[in-house]
Amino acid sequence: MFPFSQQGAQSETPTFFTQEELNKLNSEFETGGVERIRHLLEKKVKELDNTELNIAVTGDSGAGKSTLINAMRGLCSEDEGAAAVGTTETTMEPTGYSHPTLPNVRYWDLPGIGSTEFTAGSYLKKMQFKKYDFFIIVSAGRFTENDAKLAKEIKRLGKKFYFVRSKIDADLYSMRQQRDEFDEEAEMGKIRSDCVSQLGKAGIPDPNVFLISSFVKNMYDFYWLMKALADGLPNIKKSVFVLALPNDSVEVIRKKGEILKKRIWMLAILSGGVGAIPVPGLSAACDIGIVIGAIIYFRKCLCLDDAALRRLAERTGTSVEVLKDAVKSSLLGELTAPVILRLGLGVVAVAVSVVEAFVYFIPGIGSIFGAGTSFGMTYWILNDALKLLMETAEKVLAVTKRAQ
């Protein structure tokens, strides 16, 4: 039996396949081998690449919606494409912001229901609620009855919602300045209890309220908010959401690595399918193309593309060249066949190409050899490349933390 399984499905890392899909893959492979399942895997890879995620952030003007959207995209207000902060809300239309490297992920700034004349039901219709995967309801102070009405309407329509109490760092700082003795944890508990109580009185029993600062993402509830958002999504969209997160911690980087690794065996099998086509040298050429395309995608997801590195360099007062030099990774430059071959494929690839030129003339042998070698080479080189990129991402994170 081909090794399609739900191993790790009980972990927090999402799997890309339903059990029905896995059963079909096993059945097809047993009856027809790699060629029989190739179209199924191509379809799945295309689905992964085209999956959209739309995140709605709503709240009244000044609640911190734009700052939260920028934080979730890994942007500062000065970055190109960032949502404008500190402006007066003048539009009653949703404003969309694409993820800087994964354009199928979009964040939508919706006007707070308190700033409109709509009822909760007509508000959601006007805001085209069906397109959103979930809603984040943001308040910089007390949640209002309108917030509760909106949440109930969202729930009635089968969507998830999350309450976020923003600017908690400013509130705690103000309290600290006014008191001789200050217990931050106790004060956060009081604020959380007050929010829960308000929403409970408005008809939202036992709501989860996240206290965050979009400027200090390693403190308060920002991590737990991101985890809750991910856990509330179905598997493929969960993977998309995690890959779109900024690299704020080693844990995020490693979680991304787990998700990206689940793609590798699919790409390797597709490479194996091409390797089975009896054309001398084709499998090696296609292996390089698949590898380069995958590494470019890995770099984007791990915030190692040039645009992401440029933003980090600007924040740390350095340059992209200095940042690249500090982490010393051969995978951050231009990717070409010679570069990939120097990473370790070199001698093996040349040897395989020569052997293929002979064995393809022997009926049956060439097809099996081509599929096996293409799968092995692609799987091996992409695993090594992903491991190296994850190590590079952790080095970049360490360098930027030291510079801050």
DSSP string, 241-284: HHHHS---SHHHHHHHHHHHHHHHHHHHHHHHHHHTSS-TTHHH
To the nearest whole percent, how much of the chain has pLDDT over 90?
37
Q: Look at residues 102, 101, 96 and name the one whose alpha carbon lies nearest to residue 83.
A: 96
- Rounded to 5 degrees, what are φ and ψ at 162? -140, 135
Q: Which residues pair with 154 in a beta bridge?
A: none
Residue 349 forms beta bridges with which residues? none
pLDDT score, position 221 = 95
pLDDT of residue 114: 76
Greater confidence, 251 or 324? 251
Q: To which residue do tokens 């645009």 refer?
A: 307
- Residue range 154-197, pLDDT digits in tens: 999 999 999 999 999 998 988 888 887 888 899 999 999 999 99
pLDDT averaged over every residue in the chain: 81
Cβ–Cβ < 8 Å for 313, 322: yes
User: What pLDDT score does 373 carry?
Assistant: 61
Which is more confident, 393 or 84? 393
Crossing angle of helices 250-275 and 282-301, in 10° steps, is 160
Q: Cβ(212)–Cβ(188) under 8 Å?
A: no
Distance of CA 219 to the CA centre of its chain: 21
Q: What is the pTM of this model?
A: 0.85
| CB-CB contact of 69 with 109 (8 Å) | yes
Q: Write down the pLDDT at residue 285.
A: 52
Distance CA 387, CA 396 (A): 14
Distance CA 138, CA 67 (A): 11
pLDDT for residue 127 is more than 70: yes
Alpha helices (runs of H) in 302-364, residue ranges in sequence order? 306-315, 320-327, 337-340, 346-359
- What single-letter DSSP state applies at residue 80? T
Residue with tokens 């090794």: 3
pLDDT value for 154: 93
Confidence of residue 291 (pLDDT cuts 50, 70, 90): confident
CA 348/CA 352 separation, integer angstroms: 6
Q: Where in the chain is the domain with CATH 3.40.50.300?
A: 53-243
Contacts of 354 (CB under 8 A, 6+ apart): none
* Backbone dihedral angles phi then psi of residue 117, each to the nearest 5 degrees: -100, 10
Out of 64-73, 284-293, 368-377, 384-393, which region has the weakest mean confidence (pLDDT)?
Answer: 368-377
Nearest to 248 by CA among 11, 66, 75: 75
pLDDT above 70 (res 213)? yes
Residue-level pLDDT at 233: 95
Is the pLDDT higher at 365 or at 238?
238
**Is residue 200 predicted with pLDDT exceeding 80?**
yes
- The answer to whether domain 53-243 has CATH 3.40.50.620 is no
